[in-house]
Amino acid sequence: MKFKDTNYTSNRIVTDLNWSPSIDNLVLASYSENPLGNIDDPVGVALLWSLTLKSRPEFHLFANSPITSTCFNPY
């Protein structure tokens, strides 16, 4: 299965993957900085993907610093 969104994942490396402990079809992925991006691109990106919605992420989070790991809250 391939999850890709050109707005958020182009030229970025996946830094972490985490499956939801309570919802079987959710995956949380974090991505590295885009080395070919411009100054307005976010440094850190985390995307919540659903196995049922493959065309785009369910949710996105942007950070001003790199995101190297992700984790679901068990509650």
> How does pLDDT run across 13-39, given as a tens digit for each residue?
999 999 999 998 999 999 999 888 888
Q: Are 15 and 32 in contact (CB under 8 A)?
A: yes
pLDDT for 31: 94
Tell the residue number behind the tokens 């070919």, with chain if given: 36
75, pLDDT greater than 90: no
How much is the mean pLDDT over the chain? 90
